[in-house]
Amino acid sequence: MSHSPSTKRLTAVAASAVTALALTVPAAQADPPEPTLRSEAPRDLKIGSAVWGQRDLLDHDRKDLTEFQRILAAEFDSLTPENDMKWAEIHPEPDVYDFSGADAVADFARAHGQEVRGHTLLWHSQNPEWVTEASATWTCAEARDVLEDHVRTVVGRYAGEIYEWDVANEIIQDDWDAGGVQLRTEANPFLKACADDPVDLLGDVFRWAHEADPEAVLFLNDYNAEGINAKTDAYYELAQELLADGAPLHGFGAQGHLSLQYGFDESMQANFERFADLGLQVAVTEADVRMPLGEDGEPTEEQIAVQAERYDKMLQACLNVATCSSFTVWGFDDGRSWVPDVFPEGYATIMTEEFVEKPAYDALLDGLADATPGRSPRTPPGLNR
């Protein structure tokens, strides 16, 4: 049925009137969403958590998340496999790779708009028995062949999905260890086999990773590396040497495993700034703040307050350095924290075992909300890539 021009005009007028009326009637106001760490972070600063895929994500059902999974998805836009990419888990036998845990982390991240930090390709700990046994007789050439196959296989599998890699983890020992601050050429099986020129091997590990995924940002990473000290001085010299040799080193990560038994190193920002001056990104990669607890297993109010302050200080050191690209907590709830299994301490994370947010969580949320958007660009001008 056709309409006359007058009928069309009347219909249009009536429609306009309905639209105008709708605009004058206030719609029901939905409650604004609760702020989260990822929603409050500066635009290009990734806020991450460690997660163990084999334990917590294999049963992932996007339509029916566990409480842990819901919080993980809501609060963080970066995930680090806590154990799933370590050698013992991902390469348990010479010719066997097990990607199930790492795939679970990558799949969860993809489903929830998150990215992944890879951890780790070269480490002296959590190596499978076949590595520790075979390395006793390895030549440097044999060690290099094994390591190159591992790096190219693992990095290549996740090329384009992992934005940062902890390539070399804890490769410099502390000044109180036997021999003082130096490369771990005794404890690390690969560095031991190539002890005549371990820096040459390190450079190649970065090259292999870069060739397997040219877009990934490649990090040195260690504990007790927050402030300026003998250990970070050694890392600073190593970074300069690697860069001078043309190695594709892109970043330096301070883990941030702190204890209230010790003071906070106020030189953390200055330490980050000197690595940034080399053209490197920096990151807080494994933050938690543990403490000794009383017989009742509970912290004091003072401990809780100091813990929140320590988390905030690490965050501020990151926010105040333009090349700080990510801030990662090493698990967000006490029920999954590694700390009580290793130290006679606890209460290290930002939520309780029941997922109750601590003042430490509030300190991070407030610090992120107050930060200037875009303060920490992922790829700043002049970045050494």
Say if residues 384 and 282 touch (Cβ distance below 8 Å).
no
Q: Give the span between the Cα atoms of 44 and 326, in whole angstroms.
A: 8
164 is known as an active-site residue: no
Q: Is the peptide bond before 120 cis (omega within 30 degrees of 0)?
A: yes
Eight-class DSSP state of 288: E
Q: Among 286, 295, 309, 353, which one carries the catalytic annotation? A: 286
Kindly state the tokens that stand for 328: 């990662």
Instruction: Quickly list H helices, 83-122.
Output: 87-90, 100-111
Q: Among 82, 164, 170, 226, which one carries the catalytic annotation? A: 170
301 is known as an active-site residue: no
Catalytic residue positions, numbered: 170, 286
